[in-house]
């Protein structure tokens, strides 16, 4: 014979389990049901990147406010050179590499190129990287018109991409783009990485010894009229560039 207390406990446990199952099983896939100690895994402070629609403080209902149109985050103005992505000819005429062709800069460019570019363009710059061999069509830097691309042209293509090459402006900052461009100039010689020493003149303040006045003439090596590495634009918002959200670039100091 079952004791009345034992029977009562069994019935209570059954009802409790049925109640929890009913509460937890919901037609809304986003509803986790009853949560035990939700503060252990649900952050009480707002997490900016969390996708939510029930924030009652922000008018948008989300944790992170949408940036104002045409704004650039503080410290990121140098990422924009105000040259449209389809205007590579303007870039090659107006952009000037502000860095000297020293061994240190070229060595850093080599490291960056190996990390970011060699999987497509190959260590020799011949387009025979692992990805380039698979998908074909990656250019050889030492052939045809690619052999004469100057620093500004290369910089612009790194930033915006061209043809099947995707933009890399969000991956490497302006200074890194210039140094990669410098190393691409090494590979244009068709001698692979071994040609690096040939672009470095002797002495601690050396500049490149090549046939390009762009890199040998001191008057052409400083930024001219554009926002480049370590030099912000004095007239943000002017020119043909657009910010990622599709409007003209405008800097608002309070926008982070």
The pLDDT profile of the chain, 256 residues, written as one tens digit per residue, is 556 667 677 767 776 666 655 555 556 777 777 878 877 777 778 777 776 677 777 777 778 777 788 788 777 777 777 788 889 999 999 999 989 898 899 999 999 999 999 999 999 999 999 998 888 889 899 988 898 999 999 999 999 998 889 999 889 999 999 999 999 999 998 888 888 888 875 433 333 333 343 444 444 333 333 333 444 444 443 333 443 334 344 444 444 4
pLDDT value for 77: 73
pLDDT value for 156: 93
Between the CA of residue 197 and those of 134, 160, 192, what are the distances in Å?
A: 31, 29, 11
pLDDT value for 186: 92
Closest CA to 156 of 168, 143, 146, 142: 168
pLDDT value for 225: 35
pLDDT value for 249: 41
All domains of the chain in start order, with CATH = 38-67 (no CATH), 84-225 (1.10.760.10)
Measured CA to CA, the distance from residue 230 to residue 105 in angstroms comes to 15
Residue 203 near residue 73, CB atoms below 8 Å: no
pLDDT digits (tens, 9 = 90+) for 15-55: 666 665 555 555 677 777 787 887 777 777 877 777 667 77
Helix/strand/coil for 209:
coil
pLDDT value for 240: 37
Measured CA to CA, the distance from residue 46 to residue 64 in angstroms comes to 9
pLDDT value for 226: 37
pLDDT value for 4: 62
First to last CA, the chain: 73
Residue 133 tokens read as 């061999």
DSSP string, 142-177: TSGGGGG--HHHHHHHHHH-BTTBPP-TTTS-HHHH
Measured CA to CA, the distance from residue 157 to residue 88 in angstroms comes to 7
Beta bridge partners of 72: 251
């Amino acid at each position: 014979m079952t004791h009345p207390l034992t029977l009562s406990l069994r019935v209570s446990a059954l009802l409790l389990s049925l109640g929890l199952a009913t509460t937890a099983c919901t037609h809304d896939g986003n509803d986790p049901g009853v949560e035990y100690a939700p503060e252990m895994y649900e952050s009480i402070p707002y997490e900016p990147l969390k996708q939510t629609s029930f924030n009652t403080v922000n008018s948008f209902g989300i944790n992170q406010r949408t940036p104002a149109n045409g704004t650039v985050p503080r410290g990121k103005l140098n990422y924009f050179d105000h040259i449209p992505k389809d205007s590579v000819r303007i870039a090659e005429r107006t952009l000037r590499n502000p860095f000297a062709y020293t061994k240190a800069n070229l060595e850093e460019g080599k490291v960056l190129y190996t990390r970011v570019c060699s999987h497509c363009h190959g260590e020799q710059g011949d387009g025979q990287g692992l990805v380039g061999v698979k998908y074909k069509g990656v250019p050889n830097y030492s052939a045809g018109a690619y052999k004469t691309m100057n620093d500004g042209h290369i910089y612009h293509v790194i930033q915006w991409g061209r043809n099947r090459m995707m933009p890399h402006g969000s991956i490497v900052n302006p200074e890194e783009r210039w140094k990669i461009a410098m190393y691409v100039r090494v590979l244009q010689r068709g001698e692979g990485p071994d040609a690096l020493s040939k672009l470095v003149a002797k002495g601690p303040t050396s500049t490149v010894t090549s046939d390009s006045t762009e890199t040998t003439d001191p008057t052409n090596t400083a930024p001219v009229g554009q926002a480049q590495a370590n030099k912000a634009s004095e007239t943000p918002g002017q020119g043909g560039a657009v910010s990622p959200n599709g409007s003209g670039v405008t800097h608002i100091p309070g926008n982070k």
